[in-house]
């Protein structure tokens, strides 16, 4: 067998599966310890580059999917997908979904009484270039209430889903906005310990902002990276 | 030192001092118009398996449309099961992803270096399925071949599984093995699971389908892996 180069394991910034303040985790997180296994060819491979046959072509402008412009503040989200060594992750797909400007999802089970926007679906996908760069256009999502606890409100966020090069690098996260007071009191964001929680807070950027058009936000996504040395025989304790 | 007039700005995503893995967050309950495309759970044919387009208006379907595929080599199988929570209730807002080798045991990945084992042009080996209101997921795929394991060993035919959903802050990872495979006895990963829980990783033949329930917590909790 050819030498395989493994990916680093979770770092200290990853949340636990059980975060009791986020009520749904209590009955949906395992109680038995995870069984640590060596990374085999199964975990070290993935459908890299096959996104076109899976998720489909890029759809990078969420404001032009319908007859007219959606309501809300138009924004540009841009950044890079990198690994932990700072190397770009090229030609990988990032799937995007979010609520509309009023905080309402185009989903039958979202019962919050805020208006739908017929001109906004809130789903798209982008592909990173050779330097790992991506960019998409959307509207800033609204905050919305949820039933987790009394007067619970989710901070504005955009859901991001990435495959990366391997089964081991799969990531789903949420991007938050700077200076949102709801982040401090959100059990989902706070499942991630400080300071790592702040990795999920985008930065307003005047260079990305386009005059007379849209505000710009920067958000890099960092996936698990390949370790420096190959292992041939894995006897991880 | 705190500057009372201009407090230090909060750290954010662009702060070099914070550079590291982006933390995982839940997919939440409303992912169906953003992730599971029509045909995502059908790795061998052309169908709408995997999606739940009834959960949102038709003119807001912007996901991929069941792409056509050529004939796929190997034994076609149905893999299905129910996702349960700690109270034994089906989880209707979960999403299952699978990753597997083709029938010959080759991964459709540039990182599988074994060019002597054939790729199958019609088979990628990645799938995605939403659970139904009854918590049921269902894939159509092929039985994977044997693949190399640690050292010079071999792994029994298996499918890697990722579980997402409301209440899951991060993906849970497990594996499906198949009860009729003699190679299970010597599989190096199965051997790492506690013997009394090992059968939670083994799919059983029920009718024409391979049945693999996923129990997130409690009695008969599925073995989940740290990879």
Instruction: Give residue-wise pLDDT tens across range A72-115.
Output: 999 999 999 999 999 999 999 999 999 999 999 999 999 999 99
Inside any domain, residue A37: no
Does position A188 have pLDDT exceeding 90, yes or no? yes
Q: How open is the CA angle B60-B65-B71, to the nearest 5 degrees?
A: 165
Inside any domain, residue A102: yes
| Interface list for A 118-177 with B (CB within 8 A) | 121-124, 159, 161, 165-168, 170-175
CATH of domain B23-215: 2.60.130.10
Which residue in chain B has the smallest CA separation from A122? B34
Structure tokens at B21: 């893995």
Specify the 3-state DSSP secondary structure of B141: strand
**Closest approach of B186 to chain A, Cα-based (Å):** 15
Inside any domain, residue A236: no
Q: Does A67 touch chain B (CB under 8 A)?
A: no
Inside any domain, residue A18: no
Are B33 and A202 a contacting pair at CB < 8 A? no
Ordered by start, the domain boundaries in chain B are 23-215
CA B39 to CA A186: how far, in whole Å? 35
CATH at residue A81: 2.60.130.10
Residue located via tokens 């990305």: A208
Inside any domain, residue A22: no
Instruction: Give residue-wise pLDDT tens across range B163-174.
Output: 999 999 999 999
Instruction: Give residue-wise pLDDT tens across range A24-63.
Output: 999 999 999 999 999 999 999 999 889 999 999 999 999 9
Query: What is the mean predicted confidence (pLDDT) over A136-148?
Result: 98
**Closest approach of B129 to chain A, Cα-based (Å):** 12
Are B63 and A123 a contacting pair at CB < 8 A? yes
Inside any domain, residue A40: no
pLDDT tier for residue B67 given thresholds of 50, 70 and 90: confident
Tell me what pLDDT residue B2 has: 47
The count of domains in chain A is 1
Inside any domain, residue A11: no
Does position A183 have pLDDT exceeding 70, yes or no? yes
pLDDT tier for residue B151 given thresholds of 50, 70 and 90: confident
**Closest approach of B75 to chain A, Cα-based (Å):** 20
Q: Does A43 touch chain B (CB under 8 A)?
A: yes
- The domain containing residue A60 runs over which residues? 50-223
Q: Which chain B residues have a beta carbon less than 8 Å from that of A40?
A: 147-150, 155, 189
- For chain B, give the percent of residues with pLDDT over 90: 93
Which of B18, B22, B197 is best to mutate for the A interface (most A CBs within 10 A)? B22
Mean pLDDT of chain B: 95
């Amino acid at each position: 067998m050819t030498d395989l180069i493994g990916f680093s394991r979770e770092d200290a910034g990853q949340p636990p599966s059980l975060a009791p303040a986020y009520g749904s985790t209590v009955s949906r997180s395992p109680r038995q310890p995870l069984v640590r296994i060596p990374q085999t060819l199964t975990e070290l491979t993935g459908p890299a580059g096959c996104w076109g046959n899976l998720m489909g072509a890029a759809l990078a402008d969420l404001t032009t999917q319908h007859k007219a412009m959606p309501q809300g503040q138009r924004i540009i989200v841009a950044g890079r997908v990198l690994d932990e060594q700072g190397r770009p992750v090229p030609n990988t797909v990032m799937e995007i979904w979010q609520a509309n400007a009023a905080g309402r999802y185009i989903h039958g089970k979202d019962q919050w009484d805020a208006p739908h926007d017929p001109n906004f679906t809130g789903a798209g996908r982008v592909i990173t270039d050779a330097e790992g760069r991506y960019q998409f256009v959307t509207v800033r999502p609204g905050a919305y209430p949820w039933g987790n606890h009394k007067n619970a409100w989710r901070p504005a966020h955009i859901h991001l889903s990435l495959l990366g090069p391997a089964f081991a690098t799969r990531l789903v996260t949420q991007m938050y906005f700077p200076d949102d007071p709801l982040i401090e009191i959100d059990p989902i964001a706070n499942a991630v310990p400080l300071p790592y929680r702040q990795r999920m807070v985008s930065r307003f950027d005047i260079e990305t902002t386009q005059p007379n058009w849209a505000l710009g936000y920067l958000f890099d996504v960092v996936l698990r990276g390949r370790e420096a040395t190959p292992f041939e025989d894995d006897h991880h304790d | 030192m705190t500057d009372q007039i201009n407090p230090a700005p909060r750290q954010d995503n662009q702060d070099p001092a914070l550079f590291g893995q982006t933390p995982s967050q839940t997919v939440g309950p409303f992912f169906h118009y953003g992730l599971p495309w029509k045909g995502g759970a059908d790795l061998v044919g052309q169908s709408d398996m995997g999606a739940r387009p009834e959960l949102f208006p038709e003119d807001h379907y912007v996901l991929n449309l069941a792409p056509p595929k050529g004939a796929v080599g190997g034994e076609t199988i149905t893999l299905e099961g129910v996702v349960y929570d700690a109270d034994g209730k089906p989880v209707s807002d979960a999403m299952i992803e699978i990753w597997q080798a083709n029938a010959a045991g080759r991964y459709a990945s540039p990182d599988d270096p074994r060019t002597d084992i054939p790729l199958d042009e019609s088979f990628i080996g990645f799938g995605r399925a939403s659970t139904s209101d009854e918590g049921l997921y269902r894939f159509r795929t092929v039985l994977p071949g044997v693949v190399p394991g640690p050292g010079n060993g071999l792994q029994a035919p298996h499918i890697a599984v990722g579980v997402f959903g409301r209440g899951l802050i991060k993906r849970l990872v497990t594996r499906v093995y198949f009860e009729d495979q003699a190679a299970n006895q010597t599989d190096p990963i199965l051997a790492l699971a506690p013997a009394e829980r090992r059968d939670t990783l083994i799919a059983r033949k029920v009718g024409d389908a391979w049945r693999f329930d996923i129990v997130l917590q409690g009695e008969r909790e599925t073995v989940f892996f740290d990879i």
